[in-house]
Amino acid sequence: MKKISHLFTFLLLYFLFHSCIKKEETEPLNQNEIIPIQVTQHSGKTFSTGNKLSKASVYPGGGVMIQAFYWDVPSGGTWWDTVAEKIPSWQQAGIESIWLPPATKGQNGAYSMGYDPTDYFDFGNYNQNGSVETRFGSKTELVTLITTAHNYGIQVFADIVLNHNSGGQSEYNYFTQSNTWTDFSQIASGKFKRSQYDFHPNDLHSNDSGSFGGFPDLCHDKTYVQDWLWNRSDGVGKYYRDVMKFDGWRFDYVKGFEPWVVKEWNSHIGGFSVGEYWDSNVNTLEWWANSANSSVFDFACYYKMHDAFDGNNLSLLKDDMMWKRNPFKAVTFVSNHDTNIIYNKMLAYAYILTHEGYPTIFYRDYEEWLDKNKMNNLIWIHNYKATGTTTILYADNDEYIARRNGYNGNPGLIVYLNNSNNWLERWVPTNWYSTQIKDFTGNSNWYPTTQSGGWVKIQAPPKSYTIWSVNQ
């Protein structure tokens, strides 16, 4: 009898002790450190590529773009084939669009990366500037690539260089009183021939907002130039859209001309549009995007990520960026063919693939430099969980937590970035109540259940990240 009562007392004490411990553990201890910042205000609708020619994303979180080239990809006319072979695996991974380099013949012919355009209608099908094929291949190979992409539901965006031309013949120029390389009357396609009257300075004016590297600077005010770029049914824009079947446009060096040029192109041609306005000033990016009726690359986000991740100051992620001003007109990226300064790349990809805007993945990051399984996991999370507006929950030097608030029944997510050398954990307020959640990256094996008020404790490993959502 005595033994039994001792056992009873022991069990009672054991139970009381442990329920005490448990109560302490489930109390959100650092609640007062959390001051949520609502970053975006909108209905929460999915990112959309916008206008009449664009296809809405099939994913609740919107699409992911891949930049399907880098500077000096192998020459020899094999690149279109290389990209075409990647299409099935990219579609499998959840990529919805590809951005190709300028596809027509440049001054450097078979060695050109395409940013020195001579003939807008020579897709590697005319013997010109020393070769028939472009660096990337033949017109037939390009058409096969685009057809393959479409068969897999992937959109194809063309790189459009409108600021300057290169590879013309020398002519005496009445406006400069000297010889200039502005005679494009001999181009092989015979379409959109140009002369000194189509470049700056000319009889209309002396310059536009910028020129590039001394190349002849195209004048878009000329009716003749406008006709060939977007008015004529056999002009550049409509040929790219209707014959080549491009779905959208990445406009090169848009600092070099006024935003109405892209606006005019978009109103006549349609399709997805993004401009390379290389500037970290958010006001300028927003001004350009609104004036051009186009998305713009989020260089503000790019430079903030560099300072935040490489400078171990994640609080900078609270600063202004284009995607915060207008997520539907921001294309986010971690590196591209011109610039590659972010060292802490996986944190940066975890950031852009969980936040708003249209994220772009750089070919070499995906295919060569980073862990493809981790990238595919982030793309999956983006496509299926990155929904709704954004709330920043916490940020300090080495720690950043944000919440996507979900949309239309999709639960959204909470992303936890840890740039310290230790495991970190923190209580956070969720939109989920008495609900089991899990980390969809597999970096944490916790399966915590949120409290009735929505609070839950999450963790993240050193120099890594976790991304939490409802366990379903």
Name the site residues for Zn ion (rule: CB under 5 A). Answer: 163, 208, 210, 217, 219, 221, 256-257, 310, 341, 343
Nearest alpha carbon to residue 382 among 346, 344, 407, 412: 412
Considering beta carbons, is residue 256 or 388 the nearer one to Zn ion?
256
| Smallest distance from Zn ion to CB 396, Å | 20
| Smallest distance from Zn ion to CB 95, Å | 26
Question: What amino acid is encoded at 384 in this protein?
Answer: Y
Burial of 205 (0-12, 13-18, 19+ CB in 10 A): exposed
Q: Are 64 and 94 in contact (CB under 8 A)?
A: yes
Question: What amino acid is encoded at 180 in this protein?
Answer: T
Considering beta carbons, is residue 210 or 454 the nearer one to Zn ion?
210
CA distances to 154, 354, 406 from 149, rounded to whole Å, are: 5, 25, 30
Considering beta carbons, is residue 213 or 409 the nearer one to Zn ion?
213
Considering beta carbons, is residue 96 or 365 the nearer one to Zn ion?
365
Beta strands in 52-174 (DSSP E): 65-67, 97-99, 105-106, 117-119, 155-160, 169-173
Considering beta carbons, is residue 38 or 291 the nearer one to Zn ion?
291
Burial of 292 (0-12, 13-18, 19+ CB in 10 A): buried
Q: Give the HSE-up count for residue 29: Cα atoms under 13 Å, Cβ half-sphere.
A: 8
In this chain, which residue has its C-beta nearest to Zn ion? Answer: 219
| Smallest distance from Zn ion to CB 256, Å | 4
Residue 217, phi then psi, degrees to nearest 5: -100, 110
| Smallest distance from Zn ion to CB 341, Å | 5
Considering beta carbons, is residue 133 or 217 the nearer one to Zn ion?
217
Nearest alpha carbon to residue 163 among 203, 200, 113: 200
| Smallest distance from Zn ion to CB 324, Å | 22
| Smallest distance from Zn ion to CB 330, Å | 22
Distance of CA 173 to the CA centre of its chain: 42
| Smallest distance from Zn ion to CB 12, Å | 59
Considering beta carbons, is residue 208 or 425 the nearer one to Zn ion?
208
